[in-house]
Structure 1
Amino acid sequence: MSSPQTPAAPLRIAVLSAWHVHAEEYGRAAIDHPGTELVAVWDDDAERGQDLARRLEVPFEADLDALLAREDLDGVTVTTATSDHDAVIGAVLAAGKHVFTEKLLSPTVAGCDALISAAEAAGLALTVSLPRLSHGYTVALREVLDSGRLGRLTYSRVRLAHNGSTANWLPARFYDPVEALGGAFSDLAAHPVYLTQLILGTDAAAASATYTDMTGRGVEDNAVVTATTADGAIGVIETGFVTPASPFTIEVQGTEGTLLYGFEQDAQGTPVMRVGTGSGWDAIDVPADAPAPFSLWVEAIRSGEPTRENLERARALTSLTIAANALARG
């Protein structure tokens, strides 16, 4: 009779920077996950980092090199300014630590390729937070797309917007064109971009970009980008920081049917997904969420299997975002 296996020790994780608004969320993910333990916070802004460390009840480490040199550190969550990703993630991988990072992976496609190659060469798990790919509505969307019920796809539209600028709750650094790579499109539109690429394919290319600055912060806070595929389908990506009440919506049109999500709610206030064909409209069951990206990262560390689809989609996300920003600049 085989003896019971000893449970694996928790992976020891540090948060690198409180720059991003999701820094605390990922720190708490490390606290809450049964396979991880949060041990430290680092930030190049000591006051900002110390504040986050107090909230997460872990020590603050001012010396990044000293933190990465710790033999008892297994991995990090990276929530620095996007402009620092190449340097910080590169240093983490060079130190032999696993990386879970906020999007975008890098300011450039070449940077994405370099980081992905470095992680692969070192046998380290590198995963980008693309959370809406794990949500139940995306699970249901994939099933509808895979079934072919919609026919040949002709059009998609994904909208995600909030009032971060008009209600003034986003930090000022989110409007820094260098640190944040822009405004609403480089940040919030990441989710509609990778969902559009899930629907139409990662080869969908940016065709036009309309950006406006309604609150005078110097970057776009209202944006619409169109993308096209080689087959002629059009994808519309909408986002902004100036919308007080706008439901998150997905629309997909095909030659045989239509999928709508978020345009109506059930009696409990839950968004509804429907598919319409020549025979009428069917409600689509939305399952529970699949494992979140943080959990996928932990599993990748344990199994040694890289999160390849995640990295392919993260690279494609960067590519389309950079192209759209260039189009908007003219």
Structure 2
Amino acid sequence: MMREGVDEMIQLGVLGSWNGFHVKEYAAMLAKNGEAKLVSISDDNEALAAAAAQGLSLTVKSHEELLADPAIAGVIVTAAPDRAAALIADAVAAGKAVLADKLIAVTGTDAERVAAAVRAGEVPFALDLPLAQKPVCLAAKHTLDSGRLGRLTGVRIRNAHGGLLKGMLPPHFVEDPSGLLTDIGLHGIYMACLLLGQPQAVTALSAGASASRTPETAVCVLEFGDGLLVTVEMGYVSPVSPFTLELFGTEGMFTGGGYAGSARIKGAADEDWTDLPLLQEHERPLTMLEQWLQDIEAGKEESEAWNLSQGIVIGRVLEAITRSLNQGVRATV
């Protein structure tokens, strides 16, 4: 429900503008929600913060100034991946509610430290894993939980676009060796973990990478129990590559994705594919942003650290992927 006055709206800040695209997406979602608004932004690189602030009427501040502002109730962390852990911890220490974009840290140890700080700080917290709430992914989870596929024997997730070909990626994305894995590639990685838990090991391969350039494409093979292998594909050089999520089992197959969004299932004894219904806008669960705003309004006593345990798993998996890429080995998680 819309509050009665603009002055009563929840004021939020943005810590880090590594992903300026997401800053604009969050601003648009908040404008549609009507309960809160972004008022300021910070980044270690002030030019990046200024660029992200363009058109959004945001005040550019230092991290310290933003966190010291008593009018700001919470912060959205869209910082460079290797800065996320420190900034989340600083925000919690300052008593700010925190919404983290896709990760809380890029190593397991740092993720555990951040999680401990969040629990001790008792501030409203949510880790935003937006792909998990897409209708196709919700249909995949429902199908998996239903047992209709029998024993799961394989999973394939692909998420890619042609941003590197079209010059759409900002230089700091291209110049970050981990850019692909912690940007578009991370969606497939966390979806695999949300569906199946923490993998036991990972083997990662990339192409078109260097010490100062992110890969053009990469593939991560995640190993789970009972010999289950999950393939996560990602890339920046595929302009025609709709999202794909496939589940293979002893009793059938689920396939979902596409530009329009669709899901189908075929049992081993079925002659034809069956289209699965997808949730409509009014049926979907709350987004993490919406849940987080509700928690801020309700107060600390009623808040929950949403997806915090997943943040630890993601940190461990990213650490193992980095080790696999750097050393050319299968890395345990």
For the residue of structure 1 that corresponds to 2:55, the secondary structure is helix
Any idea what the Cα deviations from partners look like across 1:185-235, whole Å, max 9, x if unmatched? 232111111111233x12223332111116996332211111111121110
Distance 2:245 2:261 in 1: 11
> What is aligned with 1:78?
77
Distance 1:240 1:138 in 2: 20
> What is aligned with 1:183?
179
Out of 309, 313, 333, the position equivalent to 1:312 is 309
> What is aligned with 1:32?
32
For the residue of structure 1 that corresponds to 2:102, the secondary structure is coil
* Closer, same or farther: CA 250–14 of 1 in aligned 2, 3 Å: same
**Alpha carbons 1:228, 1:235 under 8 Å: kept:** yes
For the residue of structure 1 that corresponds to 2:75, the secondary structure is strand
Does residue 275 of structure 1 match 2:274? no
> What is aligned with 2:163?
164
> What is aligned with 1:140?
139
Out of 218, 227, 232, the position equivalent to 2:227 is 232
Any idea what the Cα deviations from partners look like across 1:283-311, whole Å, max 9, x if unmatched? 10011243222112212333433144x12
Higher helix proportion:
2
Letter in 2 for 1:292: T
> What is aligned with 2:19?
20
Gaps of 5+ in 1: 1-5, 264-268
* Closer, same or farther: CA 103–241 of 1 in aligned 2, 3 Å: same
**Alpha carbons 2:106, 2:314 under 8 Å: kept:** no
Letter in 2 for 1:113: E
Letter in 1 for 2:80: A
Distance 1:120 1:206 in 2: 28
Normalised to the residue count of structure 2, the TM-score between the two structures is 0.87
Letter in 1 for 2:291: L
For the residue of structure 2 that corresponds to 1:279, the secondary structure is coil
Distance 1:72 1:129 in 2: 23
Does residue 212 of structure 1 match 2:202? no
* Closer, same or farther: CA 215–241 of 1 in aligned 2, 3 Å: farther
Does residue 327 of structure 1 match 2:324? yes
**Alpha carbons 2:173, 2:214 under 8 Å: kept:** no
For the residue of structure 1 that corresponds to 2:225, the secondary structure is coil
Does residue 203 of structure 1 match 2:198? yes
Letter in 1 for 2:279: P
Deviation, 1:124, is 0.7
Distance 2:320 2:237 in 1: 23
Distance 2:220 2:198 in 1: 15
**Alpha carbons 2:12, 2:75 under 8 Å: kept:** yes
* Closer, same or farther: CA 202–214 of 1 in aligned 2, 3 Å: same
Gaps of 5+ in 2: 328-333
Q: Percent identity?
A: 27
Letter in 2 for 1:279: D
| Runs (4+) off by over 6 Å | none
**Alpha carbons 1:86, 1:106 under 8 Å: kept:** yes
* Closer, same or farther: CA 218–86 of 1 in aligned 2, 3 Å: same
Letter in 1 for 2:276: I
Letter in 2 for 1:305: S
Any idea what the Cα deviations from partners look like across 1:74-98, whole Å, max 9, x if unmatched? 0011112112112222111111001
What are the within-5 Å matches in structure 2 for residues 255-266 of structure 1? 255-262=250-257
Query: Which is worse superposed, 234-243 or 132-141?
Result: 132-141
Normalised to the residue count of structure 1, the TM-score between the two structures is 0.87
> What is aligned with 1:290?
285
Any idea what the Cα deviations from partners look like across 1:4-56, whole Å, max 9, x if unmatched? xx979432101223221312222333343222122222233333323433411
Deviation, 1:183, is 3.1
Deviation, 1:244, is 1.7
State the number of aligned residues: 314
**Alpha carbons 1:116, 1:126 under 8 Å: kept:** no
